[in-house]
């Protein structure tokens, strides 16, 4: 079975709040990134990287997103967020009271794109903010970056299955490599190993890399985790799909 990066995506709708729904992305593909640069808002997406954790919810300042099916490896698609300092809150989406689990002040610039990863356990929770920026992909290629969101992992290398040389190297926890070009192809499986190591830690589903698209491949979960309680290290991916304004 092949995947077109159609992982679980939560889409929201708001009216009259500081956070507004958009279905935008963090790519300069088709030059759309440049056309959005003068927008009076930032655009932010959120990934759930808390392996073994509950369904989550989130809020920017007092504007709660009110999602209840936001689980590990799921992603909330791009939202319009007012620029400046916002207090980003992570809430327990599995309960009616939606207790606050974590909060962190984040700064957003207008016209810029961001990916937020909620990481680690409830007692050590953090939010990693990655600024999304990439030049356009060529007509027969894609742009890819690799992000390490596995708390007990050392530096990690990303491989394409069947290729001996890694395509991203020594990416440490809470960090991502730069976007790079890769040839568009069908049925591409990614693998992750410790930097310089031979042990295969995780393998992704097979994906179709579509011409001119931009992707983030990311690891979540723990090397020493358990598949039984769904805390083992996994490889996930999502596409950045820009929308014009």
The SS3 of residue 58 is strand
Identify the band that residue 25 occupies on the pLDDT scale cut at 50, 70 and 90.
very low
Mean pLDDT on 227-241: 92
What residue segments make up the domains of the chain, in order of their start?
9-240
The predicted-structure confidence for 161-180, as pLDDT tens digits, reads as follows 999 999 999 999 999 999 99
Identify the band that residue 24 occupies on the pLDDT scale cut at 50, 70 and 90.
very low
Residue (of 101, 105, 99, 178) closest to 144 by Cα position: 178
> What is the pLDDT of the chain when averaged over all its residues?
86
Name the DSSP class of 133.
Answer: -
The predicted-structure confidence for 129-160, as pLDDT tens digits, reads as follows 999 877 888 889 999 999 999 999 999 999 99
Residue in this structure with the two tokens 């990655």, named with its chain if needed: 130
Bin 16: left if φ > 0, else alpha if -120 < ψ < 50, else beta.
Answer: left
State the CB neighbour count (10 A cutoff) for residue 229. 9
Q: Which helix (H) or strand (E) holds 127?
A: strand 126-131
Identify the band that residue 34 occupies on the pLDDT scale cut at 50, 70 and 90.
very low
Q: Cα separation of 150 and 171, whole Å?
A: 11
């Amino acid at each position: 079975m092949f995947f077109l990066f159609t992982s679980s995506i939560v889409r929201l709708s708001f009216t009259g709040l500081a956070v507004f729904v958009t279905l935008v992305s963090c790519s300069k593909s088709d030059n759309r990134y440049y056309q959005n640069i003068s927008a009076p808002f930032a655009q932010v997406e959120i990934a759930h990287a808390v392996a073994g954790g509950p369904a989550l919810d989130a809020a920017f300042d007092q504007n709660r997103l009110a999602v209840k099916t936001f689980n590990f490896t799921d992603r909330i698609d791009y939202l319009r967020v007012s620029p400046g300092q916002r207090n980003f809150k992570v809430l327990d989406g599995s309960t009616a009271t939606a207790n606050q689990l974590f909060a962190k002040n984040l700064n957003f610039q207008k016209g810029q794109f961001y990916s937020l990863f909620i990481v680690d356990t409830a007692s050590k929770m953090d939010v990693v903010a990655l600024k999304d920026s990439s030049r356009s992909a060529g007509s027969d290629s894609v742009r890819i970056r690799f992000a390490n969101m596995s708390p007990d992992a050392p530096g990690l290398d990303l491989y394409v299955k069947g290729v001996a040389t890694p395509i991203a190297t020594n990416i440490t926890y809470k960090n991502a490599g730069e976007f790079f070009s890769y040839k568009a192809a069908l049925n591409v499986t990614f693998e992750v190993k410790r930097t310089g190591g031979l042990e295969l830690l995780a393998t992704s589903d097979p994906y179709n890399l579509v011409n001119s698209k931009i992707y983030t491949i990311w690891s979540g979960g723990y090397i020493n985790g358990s598949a039984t309680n769904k805390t083992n290290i996994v490889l996930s991916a999502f596409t950045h799909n820009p929308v014009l304004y």
